[in-house]
Amino acid sequence: MEGIPDLGRVRWLAILLPTLAIGIFEFMRHQWLAPVLPPWLGHGWPGNLLGALVVGGVTYGFTRIFSGMVAGAALTAARAREEAAVLVERQRLGREMHDSVAQALFYLTVRLDEVSGLVAAGDRGGATQELAAVREDVRATHGHVRSVISDLKRQADGEDFGEAMRRAARETAERLKIRVTCRVSEDARVPAAVKGQLVAIVKEALTNAQRHGGAEHAVVTVKRRGKGTELEVTDRGRGFDPGAVRGEDHYGLAIMEERALMAGGALRVSSAPGAGTSVTVWMPAPEDR
């Protein structure tokens, strides 16, 4: 990393330079200074004491130098970690906004294009109905954005995982006007860093269940399974063929899969026409990551 000295080289310098300095001093004292110094200073114990003082002075000097280098390296590394943390947080915020606001605006744009087509075709009744539906979507999007902002604040405050999951299920149910049952096992554990990703997956899965599957009831279950934690969102909606998904529906599934991978887990979607949908995420235990 730029600005951080090679600590291996610093360690060797800390060993070699004092040793070299002391060796040079002793060589000079015995070879060159002894003939001109009094015998008691050149060869007696006062000379040895002087040598010890020189050793202490050289060691102290080099210790100060190397301590400054190490302290500077630690400060540079700490700043680099802070900058990396800020960058990661900015990327996370950007992803949250992209996955919520950008997707919602794209969806509303498509709906408004449909309204324009109806108006151009002279179908005022159809346009009026479509506008009413768009109005409801705008309200839902507003509630979703407020929910995302609330999630970000609670993540910063360190909200408990189980409580975060139950709150996300409750708020999403109120926004979508569906019934959601949420069960979180006490022994379910996930790393704090990925809690937000799992909460977002639950919200996306519930939104898809209502918007595309027409589900009136969904169940969110978080439990311990094997050496990890399993998150499952199931509904009894219309279901679909996962292999035939296109467009916006595929985008929503891709977002959930990407979030699961970023959290270090794996996502599986099981569904069939008329058989409802099950979205499952398995996360390894924190100590196994």
| Domain end call among 27, 54, 82 | 82
Q: Residue 260 maps to which CATH number?
A: 3.30.565.10
Q: What percent of the chain has pLDDT over 70?
A: 69
Any domain includes 130? no
Any domain includes 143? no
pLDDT in tens, 57-78: 777 777 777 777 777 777 777 7
Any domain includes 117? no
Whole domain around residue 251: which residue ranges?
A: 160-288
Query: 235 - beta bridge partners?
Result: 218, 277
Residues 182 and 276 in one domain: yes
Confidence of residue 217 (pLDDT cuts 50, 70, 90): very high
Residue 207 has pLDDT above 70, yes or no: yes
Sequence letter at residue 139: R
Any domain includes 155? no
Any domain includes 118? no
Any domain includes 141? no
| Domain end call among 63, 82, 101 | 82
Lowest mean pLDDT among 32-46, 164-178, 179-193, 213-227: 32-46
Residue 74 is predicted with a pLDDT of: 73
Any domain includes 252? yes
User: Are 189 and 219 a contacting pair, CB within 8 Å?
Assistant: no
pTM strictly above 0.85: no
CA–CA separation, 239 and 285 (whole Å)? 31
pLDDT in tens, 123-137: 888 888 888 888 877
Residues 180 and 278 in one domain: yes
Any domain includes 222? yes
> Comparing 279 with 106, which gets the higher pLDDT?
279
